[in-house]
A and B are shown apart, each in its own frame.
Chain A
Amino acid sequence: MNATVLKGHSLRQFLMDQGVLFAFIALLIFLAFVAPHFVSVNNFFSVLTDAAPLVLLALSELVVMLVAGIDLSVGAVAGLTGALAATMMLSGFPWPLALFLALLAATLAGLLQGIVINYLHITDFIATLAGLSIFSSLTLIVTNGEPLNINDNGFNAIGESHILGIPDQVWIAGLMVILLAIFLSLTASGLYLYAIGGNRVAAYRAGIRVRRLRSLAYAFSGFSAGLAGVIFAAQLATADPNAGRGDELPAIAAVVIGGVYLFGGRGTVWGALIGALLLSTILDGLVLLNISPFYTELVEGVVILLAVMLGYLKKRGTV
């Protein structure tokens, strides 16, 4: 195994791995040409702002997929979090407390599913499908099926204000990205998530608390989805009972595009981030190009297929 071979290998690997990044850049350039006012600092931030909730949902999926799970409930948890926060503020809770309790509820929703999956041995897919159903229904019950207006300016500022010229939403998603990246690449628990996804039995034999960590992965998923829900609500100053509905699919699509392996053990925060940015920008692009929203899911589906096929070809090419 000589050094030059390895170097060449990893350079090619790098270019292959960053294919999604190149696609993202190419898309930005393309949009700049077809929609001239697309190129501006404001619009750059609006790309990031639009992508923020999807980035957070993608982080949820990333973490559960690393431990070979899947979370279909992220959209529903996001919707429920916004509804709970709004309801609490309407009944007089100060917004920071409402925010804290709503995020706590989202985390517990995730943890509960994690416990059902790992200690009661219900398949991830089924448990979170049930979760999707239950949390969607709870949102309707809490909101009575009506959009709830949020009058609290402190809360709504999350959707409007800037810190150092950068929108709050971008800060939230950005911080989560950085913290998760640090956690996954530098801590033992982060490494264990990969180990569990790579070989669950070997991880168990190595003394890793597999069930506990897998449950906590779902708790994280709930928390991150809750943050996405807070952003949805703050952006519109409304808790829409339909907020987050169906968002599990783009979230899963985003991480798949970003090279996260569906069956566990492989994937990076960087990949999930770029996947989410690419998908979000494609969806924005459809709007910019005046393409009927009926095509949205068609495009999503095609992008997922392309991403998986490219991933497969890449694997076949390098192995």
Chain B
Amino acid sequence: MNTAAESASERQGPPLLRLRGIGKRFGAVQALRDIDLDVWPGEVLALLGDNGAGKSTLVKIIAGAQAPTSGSMQFHDQTLRQFDPRTARDLGIETLYQDLAVAENLDVSANIFLGRERKKRLLGILPFLARREMRKESVLALQKLAIQLPLRQPVGELSGGQRQAVAIARAAYWQAKLVIMDEPTAAIGVGEHAAILHLIQTLAASGVAVILITHTMPDVWQVASRITVLTRGEKALDGRPDDLDEDLVVKAMLVGKGVAA
């Protein structure tokens, strides 16, 4: 259970993602102010905050969907400036949105390979899809994460948890280094909840850094190796779950910096 937390406490080498003084202003509104954040490989960082606290903005900045107005970002020895979501993905930053992650009318392997299909040349010229090969690879990718799914059905016929698993398997298969998950357990039944949390731990144990946005407090203590609380655009709290309790975290979400122990 504590593997993620332990590997985080070891923290070998430099952080995978390093944010310094990140700020974002929308006209008169200061959405983020002076955020410093380091994320190490293999750690699950729970990003908490009330609605409007700046979580989404921060995550969008990391994913390349929005540019910060101030501050600097480093990912894996590289300074990131003016990059788009595609570049982020190529670098290994994968964002899993609640429902936008998969094409419901395609099957599991089509989704895992979407946009990066394997092809075989028929008659030496025509680039046709290597469906069988992709399906085999998908089976392996799912096995690695111990996921069991019906492979030939459109993903839309799968449950919410299974769809989420497809998106996670895709990120893992393409060797994402940092996976950002926005409320991965929000639309999921009780039975699958535990499976998704377990999947997050498996992912982290394989060396992937995970940023987890969630409102479900018990999840945080179950999988997170670190908790960061944003309040009104500022970092209000940052610590290990063992050193924090739910009261303190909730207070930080409401009150802000002052509560930090």
Contacts and interface: CB of A to CB of B under 8 A. Distances in A.
Interface string A164-192: 00000000000000000000001110010
Contacts of B150: 1, 6
A195 B100 contact: no
B101 interface: yes
B189 interface: no
Nearest to B86: A207
B129 A265 contact: no
A266 B105 contact: yes
Given A203-B114, A206-B115, A207-B116, A265 B105 contact: yes
Contacts of B156: 198
Contact of B105 (A187, A197, A208): A197
B230 to A, nearest CB: 24
A186 B128 CA distance: 5
B203 to A, nearest CB: 19
B89 interface: yes
Contacts of A38: none
Contact of A202 (B103, B117, B129): B103
A205 interface: yes
A201 interface: yes
Given A1-B150, A186-B128, A188-B129, A198 B106 contact: yes
A155 interface: no
Interface string A192-218: 001101110111011110000000000
Interface in B28-82: none
A265 B106 CA distance: 9
Interface in A120-142: none
A218 B220 CA distance: 48
Contacts of B101: 202, 205
Contacts of B103: 194-195, 198-199, 202-203, 265
Residue among B106, B115, B122 with max Cβ neighbours from chain A (10 Å): B115
- What is the predominant secondary structure among interface residues of chain A facing chain B? helix
Nearest to A196: B103
Contacts of A194: 103, 105-106
A205 B171 CA distance: 13
Contact of A186 (B116, B129, B152): B129
Nearest to A208: B115
B110 interface: yes
Contacts of A208: 114-115
B102 interface: yes
A141 to B, nearest CB: 41
A208 B115 CA distance: 6
B104 A198 contact: yes
Interface string B121-133: 0100011110000
Contacts of B115: 203, 206-208
A194 B122 CA distance: 22
Given A186-B129, A188-B127, A194-B106, A207 B89 contact: yes
Contact of B117 (A188, A197, A198, A205): A188
Given A188-B117, A208-B114, A195 B106 contact: yes
21 contacts: A186-B128, A188-B117, A188-B119, A188-B127, A188-B129, A195-B105, A195-B110, A198-B103, A198-B105, A198-B106, A199-B102, A202-B102, A203-B114, A203-B115, A205-B101, A207-B86, A207-B89, A208-B115, A265-B104, A265-B105, A266-B105
In the A-B complex, the 10 residue pairs with the smallest Cβ-Cβ separation, listed nearest first, are: A206-B115, A198-B105, A198-B103, A207-B115, A265-B105, A206-B114, A199-B103, A186-B128, A195-B103, A188-B117
Given A186-B128, A195-B106, 19 more contacts: A1-B150, A186-B122, A186-B129, A191-B106, A194-B103, A194-B105, A194-B106, A195-B110, A198-B156, A199-B102, A199-B103, A199-B105, A202-B102, A202-B114, A205-B101, A206-B115, A265-B104, A265-B105, A266-B105
